[in-house]
Structure 1
């Protein structure tokens, strides 16, 4: 193969365009995550009426997908290590299909809850493997932009769920609202069968020639392929020299900085309050005096803001850096939550309170969605060394979903104890803690190869400054 020829070129698709296509197809899993978790807010009133659910039963139906996501995130680690990243995504897509259909035709609330648990398994599995799959194929200088296709896809899914929740109330039953997700599930299932396999996984399986062939599809020259494969082989050989691997390897001291930084970012990505805002925005707005229709339309505006800021974050994250983007954006989210808490607790705005609430929610979404939400999934895809990547990315996704479950499960209780305003101050404090954590413990990973990050960990130079 000459320096100017690659399999992608032979098929008349330039490597950069082919890599973007790979990231787009794989990121459909993020759209399914966003839609399947978000659609319940619009579908739940109909579900509650059909099955005569009390408040507690509605909470259980909503939370089932989050519990399934924790289980799926941890369970998929063995699949991705044994079967490879691409095949694992194909399996996850198949589970999406089964879960969507089962939920849409559920004859009772128990079947619906079980179906959403299955959907959660797919959601958790996809969040564990898709960012890693994209990161292992992407060139270092564009890894942030490509991995965050996943974040953008989540935003698209949330927005579509909000649109269906607003426009579909009088057009569709809840079964159609849920069942329509079968279409992108099938696109993901069949689309991934045509995508390349991870070259890093292939090198681990002692298949360097196949790894070179797959990597050549997304690199411009054979020189780049040779150098990158040699770099991967060097890291894999050192990994094979270690007597401890897998979950036990995560206890080794040299890995501790990566685990602390990665799992901490994962926790604060959810503890910042983003999912709580998405799930409960209509409730907050109704409490602020908005009618049901106006509350839903305002929630749609919040979803649009989330998507727009995720796209902006995707475009700048490689230039600005992961650490810098988080440190710049989090203070804006803190201020928005402090003001929102004051407006709600002290009724500062009088008759204009509803619009102040909407403004604060949108400002919060601007700084949160454009900052730590961009970084949260990306960090998990690139910070963990090859020796523990499968296990650590599973733990990373489980931390994200576990934190989400904790936050969502306590939101209504916290607002009952402290009032909505007091709860906003608690979330402002959690955002401030997140800023301090990133400042002191999270190094910059942008623009560095995965192998370079691993070498700095082993050398003890993986530090924030």
Structure 2
């Protein structure tokens, strides 16, 4: 990389802040692919079932394979990101996206389609593990939240596009085209990532200090900031080099346990609170509640639009309000929305206006869940884990996300058969309430802190969910 200093001055006429936003936008295309490839199956599956003559069990298999692949991909990409670096791993993931999309679109049989979606899932899980980490390791502490959540906004765009095409699919598109069109953004991601910087923190871990300085200078306004942050990274890397336990075994170290508990708990509740289940099954739930098929699909489109709008608003406010504060403020309204939703259906309330109550409660839940805990799910995994376990912990974090998604999605229809849609909504209300309790008890505020400061708080025993955390951290330094 001897030519990098020149590259740093000629990369773009953008300011460092503008260039960092561009880096986050390109990397976040992976989130759009995640949203689209997981969301498109709801619109494509009826057409696939018709072409291949699938029963409901085969349809469940096709839908679930991407979630199983995501768990595998999240865990497998930890070694790749540690050895090859974050940027190269994202390039590999984007190539796997392309291969999986093309294979799925050309599938001659249902088993070929299922395996292709397993491959796609590997890319989905890998991108969840590595893209937020890559952006977080390049971002300034004060802007890290809004930059990492480009990934969430991109997921929302992908889900919305999938919903739009799902509504139009029966009349305008063959299911192969519905799936195959995702190859275009995957190729854009592959090419775009080859032009972006390496993670300076990863370079410091490889003892490539000069290259780290060059890459960091592309996204910082002053040499003094680069010098200070680079010294901080070197200090933490030196401490890591002196540690005798590393890798997966290091996850058992007592000092990292608070971060693991907080991070993996948030990852689980991001899914267990029901957001993905609502996105996947809104048409089914609404048909069970008496809506027509067309109205159910349009309501699902409204859910997708709400998700996108609220994740974008969350991106704008997260660095001002804080991760913990935003979640604690929004989850109670999500709980109330689901309680009312369940009561309306369980006790047949609302009379002639019942369907308006149902849609209103559904949209209210989407507003306060997607605008709160969903904003911090991937962000927490990108910023809370110390460098000595970051690759392994972010893999476990993404695997927890997808494992919880698989658990909830796989049980949603069974639960509604047992309890009815109204009873199921009460269960999900309880899970949202548990999420509030967990965040209150276990999740500290990380707003405005560098990744190195968060690690020092863990080592100093001051990583705790209390207002005095900032003062404790400063005194520990």
Q: Equivalences for 1:331-346 in 2 at 5 Å?
A: 331-346=332-347
Say if 1:310 and 1:374, in contact at 8 Å, map to a contact too. Answer: yes
Cα displacement string for residues 209-229 of structure 1 (whole angstroms, at most 9, x for unaligned residues) = 000000000000111111101
CA contact (8 A) 1:382 1:450 kept: yes
Cα displacement string for residues 50-75 of structure 1 (whole angstroms, at most 9, x for unaligned residues): 00000111011000000000000000
Correspondence for 1:257: 258
CA distance in 2, matches of 1:241, 1:184: 42
Match of 1:247 in 2: 248
Q: CA deviation at 1:168?
A: 2.5
Check conservation: 1:8, 1:14, Cα contact below 8 A: no
User: Alpha-carbon deviations, 1:117-168, whole Å to 9, x = none?
Assistant: 0000000000000000000000000000000000000000000000000123
Alignment-derived partner of residue 363 in structure 1 = 364
Q: Supply the distance in 1 between the matched residues of 2:8 and 2:453 (Cα, whole angstroms).
A: 27
Corresponding residue number in structure 2 for 1:58: 59
Q: CA RMSD in A?
A: 1.1
User: Whole-Å Cα distance in 2 between the matches of residues 416 and 290 of structure 1?
Assistant: 17
| Kept after mapping to 1: 8 A contact 2:75/2:395 | yes
Deviations 1:282-322 (A, max 9, x none): 01111222211111111101110110000000000000000
Give runs of aligned pairs for residues 106-145 of structure 1, distance below 5 A.
106-145=107-146
What residue number does 1:386 align with?
387
Name the counterpart of 1:404: 405
1:343-368 deviations in Å (ceiling 9; x for gaps): 11111122322221111110000000
Distance 1:414 1:35, change over 3 A: same
Does structure 1 retain, via aligned residues, the 8 Å contact 2:289–2:421? no
SS at 2:349 equivalent: coil
Structure 2 unmatched runs, 5+? 1-5, 467-477
Verify the 8 A CA contact 1:103 1:116 in the aligned structure 2.
Answer: yes
The residue that corresponds to 2:191 in the other structure is 190
> How many Å separate the matches in 2 of 1:7 and 1:91?
24
* Contact 1:343–1:421 under 8 Å retained in 2: yes
Single out whichever of 18-27 and 292-301 deviates more from structure 2.
Answer: 292-301
Q: Secondary structure of the equivalent of 2:448? A: coil
Give deviations 1:437-465, integer Å, cap 9, x for gaps: 00011000110000000001000000000
Residue in 2 that maps onto 1:32: 33
The residue number in structure 2 matching 1:279 is 280
Kindly state the Cα deviation for residue 9 of structure 1 after the two structures are TM-superposed: 7.4
Does the residue aligned with 2:24 lie in a helix, a strand or coil? helix
User: What secondary structure sits across from 1:169 in the alignment?
Assistant: helix
Q: State how far apart, in whole Å, the 1-side matches of 2:153 and 2:142 are.
A: 19
Structure 1 residue 11, shift from structure 2 partner: 3.7
Which residue is equivalent to 2:472? none
- 1:14 to 2:20 alignment: no
1:419-430 equivalent positions in 2, closer than 5 A? 419-430=420-431
- 1:18-67 alpha-carbon deviations (Å, 9 max, x no partner): 00000000000000000000000000000000000001110110000000
1:6/1:220 contact within 8 Å kept: no
> Is the 2:288–2:421 contact (alpha carbons within 8 Å) kept by the matching residues of 1?
no
- Distance in 2 separating the partners of 1:260 and 1:288: 38
| 1:10 Cα deviation from its structure 2 partner | 7.1
1:202 CA drift (Å): 0.2
Give how far 1:263 is off.
0.2
CA distance in 2 between partners of 1:133 and 1:162 (Å): 29
Say which SS state the counterpart of residue 250 (structure 1) adopts: helix
Q: What is aligned with 1:155?
A: 156
Q: Which residue number in structure 2 is paired with residue 102 of structure 1?
A: 103
What SS is found at the alignment partner of 1:456?
helix
Count of residue pairs the alignment pairs up:
461
Q: Say if 1:29 and 1:150, in contact at 8 Å, map to a contact too.
A: yes
Give the secondary-structure state (helix, strand or coil) at the position aligned to 2:252: coil
Aligned equivalents of 1:255 and 1:247: distance in 2?
12
Identify the residue that residue 228 of structure 2 maps to in structure 1.
227
1: CA distance between counterparts of 2:11 and 2:287? 58
1:8 deviation in Å?
A: 5.2
Which residue is 2:443 aligned to?
442
Report if aligned partners of 1:317, 1:325 keep a CA contact under 8 Å in 2.
Answer: yes
Normalising by the residue count of structure 2, what TM-score does the alignment of the two structures yield?
Answer: 0.96
Q: Which residue of 1 aligns with 2:320?
A: 319
**1:7 Cα shift?**
2.7
Relative distance call for 1:8 and 1:59 in structure 2 (3 A) is farther
Q: Which residue of 1 aligns with 2:475?
A: none
Q: Which runs of 5+ in 1 are unaligned?
A: none
CA contact (8 A) 1:203 1:211 kept: yes
The whole-number CA distance in structure 2 between the counterparts of 1:286 and 1:93 is: 36
